[in-house]
Amino acid sequence: MTDRYHSIIIVSIMSKKITYWLLLPILISLTIFADEKAKQINKGEQSESLDFIRFKENDFNASLETASAKYINDDGVEVELIGVVHIADKKYYQEFNEQFKKYDSLLYEMVGGDPDKPLTKEDLAANKKNPMRFFQLLIGGMMKLDFQLDHIDYTAKNFVHADMTMETFQERQKAKGENLFSLIEKSIEAQEKAGSQNKQQFNFASMFKLLNDEGGPNGMKLALGRQFHDIESMIGGMEGPDGSVLVAERNITALKVMESEMKKGKKNLGIFYGAAHLPDFDKRLIEDYGFKRTTKTWNAAWKIQKSAAKKALKDSI
């Protein structure tokens, strides 16, 4: 059975509410777990939230992009937040591997493992077996994209685990009565109450047309990519006033590791996390740690050549 028909089967069983149940786990799984020149951040923007993921599109091409934002404090410590989506083009991860070599410490997300021991290849293999990874691999295979854990070198000497252990994560979720289903329900309620501002909301007709016009993988990328407009409001709906374990509490854990690295004299730090974590990181770095934003750059995770571009190229030959 072709990728196109696999895609149609998945979306054809959904009502409007079930559509949310498909899209939210996909968008969450992709973001939690050509570059433009760096631009200066105005002082007046320091208290405002920034976008850390965007979807750009014209008649011929489209791209899903994640942001990297730099911060500096009065002691000259530089921290760069590096947003990522967990399935993407292989080149996207290869470029990150080169970028990561420049940091004194690169703090990374990964629930589980031993924070006091370097990550091994066996740890990585075990991490790929959990249900969320299976879901990510399934979606990635349908869109012909690669998986983050297959290409990022987590055994690099400057990599520092900056996430909860599995035991702590499960204990905190149990204490708060939190699970993926409850978070999705909260996000759905918030979305329905506020009303989405996305003019290209997901629907069956648009999906089927994209699958037919662009082919299965590209059609799915375009359909999903257009929904990232809403990802920050979706995560905001999940978080609520007290914050979730999935995002806020894990971010707090990572920032405590950052503090520890700073006490060791590290001056150039990177924090590599799913793009949906970055608005909360941004707020905490500025309000709780006294950092100031300096620059922001964009990294292309998905590059999509539309059928119109292929036709134009063919017609020109």
pLDDT tens, 220-240? Answer: 888 888 877 666 656 666 666
Q: Domain total for the chain?
A: 1
Closest CA to 275 of 231, 243, 227, 230: 231
Read off the pLDDT of each residue in 184-194 and give the average, rounded to a whole number: 67
Q: What is the DSSP string of 266-308?
A: --EEEEEEEGGGHHHHHHHHHHTT--EEEEEEEEEEEEEE-HH
**Best-predicted range by mean pLDDT among 25-29, 31-35, 292-296?**
292-296
- Does the pLDDT value for residue 58 go beyond 60? yes
How far, in Å, CA of 146 to CA of 137, rounded? 8
- Does the pLDDT value for residue 269 go beyond 80? yes
Give the pLDDT confidence score for residue 37 in this predicted structure: 36
- Does the pLDDT value for residue 15 go beyond 50? no
**Best-predicted range by mean pLDDT among 77-91, 139-153, 218-232, 295-309?**
77-91
Q: Name the pTM for this structure.
A: 0.79
pLDDT-based confidence at 308, cuts 50/70/90? low
Closest CA to 136 of 215, 238, 224: 224
How far, in Å, CA of 267 to CA of 274, rounded? 23
> Which domain does 304 fall in, by range?
3-316
Q: 103-116 burial, b for 16+ CB within 10 Å, e for fewer? A: bbbbbbbbbbbebe
